[in-house]
Amino acid sequence: MSKYIYGIDFGTTNSALAILNTETNNLVKLFTIPSLLFFPDSINPKEPIVPTVGHEAISLYVQNRMRGRFMKSIKKVLPNKSFIDTRIGSKSYRAEDLVALILVHLKKIADEFVGENVKTAVIGRPVVFDENPEKDALAQERLSKAAQIAGFEEFYFQMEPIGAAFTYERQIENQQLVLVADFGGGTSDFSLMKLNPDAINQADRTADMLAQGGIYIGGDSFDSDIMWHKGTPHFGRGVKEEFTPGKPIDLPLSYFYSICSWEKMNFLDSLRMKLSIAKSYQYSGKDYRVKNLQTLIEQNLGYELFKQIEKVKINLTKSDNAIFEFNESEISINEPLSIQEFSKEIIEKNVDKIEQYLQEFLDKNQIKNNEVDVVFMTGGTSMVRPLNNIFIQRFGSEKIKSGDNFNSVAMGLAYSYRVLVEAETS
């Protein structure tokens, strides 16, 4: 058996793989890729379409001038019961097949690095894939199938925030009660753990893992919030259509809900919906904003648009003002956004929901703010200021610690291998 195992954090936005040498219990390498797939349109329908993954998916998508199927946030498909499969060219892909493409890609890079076919992995999962237990179980089952398709024979699941806790434990010198808060693209996960540097090599850590919890809100939700408030008015929200003269009505809200989430945008790319939008264009008096909506769908500009939205969000972590700019095929958006508006009007509801959840989580586990020694914040979304401020106000800035926001989980998943093996054999 190989001395290496992989810790794999399959994330909504980014996926990471950490290689652990089990003999020394140290990491030897780490790889991170965006969790993206691109299937270029086929030139010859008889030839199979070759999917591309990660960074290559982005470059090919740009090279192909966005013609083809570009897939983002695939993790969100896992708990979706109504997703059976999707047909691309002559092949249909189930949820596990799509996820397996990412796992195969990561495994290949890592196998090439160690020069072996490593078949053992610790795979992360959010605390909550879905609030409905049946859907949650389905998600893990699909992830499990994906791991098998990718060639893993022995694999364990570990909660993502527990992974992050194991990484943080390597940075401390004394025992601490730590609240791990992992804010990703799809979910916000919490874990309460007793960490102790002397326990790093201890196999049974069950007593130290005090509580886990999570909520299905993440960075993608904030992007959708920005799109709703600052983007949709440019695509016809607020425009009226007049089928019966003298009786103008609002355009269907379903258009705008769909363009606010990346996964739903494809829904508008059907003949029926395209006809409906074309009709709205006519009956709105050929309003340029409805034309923008047509262009967005027909030219497949969703990814580009959301990239600009993400940029605004990221800029607001560093400065108090940012501009949402998008100029593509006659669509022209130039919307200034201040940190105040972002915090108070745009993402406030979702941030409040996260805070409420945090309060419930602490109450349920009978933990008071002052009993928490350290809050270890990780994940890309932990940098969003209004979210970060909640923790500063509640626990004090001296208790807030952070590390590598994008790799802490994968590293800790690998470190937790021993604990999982022990739990299985004892």
Ligand X SMILES: Nc1ncnc2c1ncn2[C@@H]1O[C@H](COP(=O)(O)OP(=O)(O)OP(=O)(O)O)[C@@H](O)[C@H]1O
Per-residue binding string, Mg ion, 3-32, x by CB under 5 A, is --------x---------------------
What gap in Å lies between CA 138 and CA 129, rounded to an integer? 9
Q: Smaller CB distance to Mg ion: residue 13 or 52?
A: 13
Cα(175)–Cα(183) distance, integer angstroms:
24
306's tokens:
């959301």
Contact residues: ligand X, CB under 6 A: 11-14, 75, 160, 184-187, 218-220, 310, 313-314, 317, 379-381, 383-384, 406
41 is written with which tokens?
């349109």
CB of 124: closest distance to Mg ion in angstroms? 7
Q: Is 218 in the site for Mg ion (CB under 5 A)?
A: no
CB-CB contact of 8 with 35 (8 Å):
no
Shorter beta-carbon distance to ligand X: residue 49 or 150: 150
Comparison of 39 and 183: residue with beta carbon closer to Mg ion: 183
Residue nearest to Mg ion (CB): 184
CA distances from 287 to 37, 241, 245, 282, 355 (A): 34, 9, 16, 8, 41
CB 419 to Mg ion: min, Å: 20
**121, β-bridge pairs:** 6, 155
Interface with Mg ion includes 161 (CB under 5 A)? no
Q: Dmax over Cα atoms in the chain, in whole Å? A: 78
Q: Is 231 in the site for Mg ion (CB under 5 A)?
A: no
| Partner in contact with 406, chosen from ligand X, Mg ion, none, beta carbon below 5 to 8 Å by kind | ligand X
Min CB(232)–Mg ion separation in Å: 28
- Token pair of 164, please? 């992050």
Q: How far is the CB of 182 from ligand X (least distance, A)?
A: 6
Q: Which is nearer to Mg ion, 11 or 79 (CB)?
A: 11
Angstrom distance (rounded) from CA 50 to CA 35 = 17
Count of residues that bind Mg ion according to CB under 5 A: 2
Distance, CA of 276 to CA of 268 (rounded, Å): 9
Whether 104 contacts 148, CB under 8 Å: no
Cβ count within 10 A of residue 282:
12
The length of the chain in residues reads: 426
Q: Closest approach of Cβ 143 to ligand X, in Å?
A: 12
* Angle subtended at Cα 403 by Cα 362 and Cα 400, rounded to the nearest 5 degrees: 40
Report, in Å, the least distance between residue 179 CB and Mg ion: 17
Looking at the Cβ atoms of 287 and 310, the one nearer to ligand X is 310
C-alpha pair distances (Å), 97 with each of 108, 141, 146, 314, 401: 16, 12, 6, 32, 37
**From CA 56, how far away is CA 34, in angstroms rounded?**
10
Residue 310 interacts, among ligand X, Mg ion, none and using kind-specific CB cut-offs from 5 to 8 Å, with ligand X
Footprint (CB under 5 A) of Mg ion, residues 167-186: 184
- In sequence order, what E strands does 196-328 have? 209-215, 240-244, 247-250, 321-328
Query: For residues 107 and 289, which CB has a smaller minimum distance to ligand X in the complex?
Result: 107
What's the min distance (Å) between Cβ of 168 and ligand X? Answer: 15
Select from Mg ion, ligand X, none the partner in contact with residue 13, using the beta carbon and a kind-dependent cut-off of 5 to 8 Å. ligand X
Min. distance of Cβ 316 from ligand X in angstroms?
A: 8
Q: Which is nearer to ligand X, 167 or 280 (CB)?
A: 167
**11 vs 386 by CB, closer to Mg ion:** 11
- In angstroms, the CA 219 to CA 129 distance is 15
The three-state secondary structure class of 101 is helix
Binding mask 181-210 for Mg ion (x = CB under 5 A): ---x--------------------------
Nearer to Mg ion, 184 or 386 (CB): 184
The closest alpha carbon to 380, from 169, 164, 225, belongs to 164
State the minimum distance, in angstroms, from the CB of residue 79 to ligand X: 12
* Residue ranges that bind Mg ion, judged by CB under 5 A: 11, 184
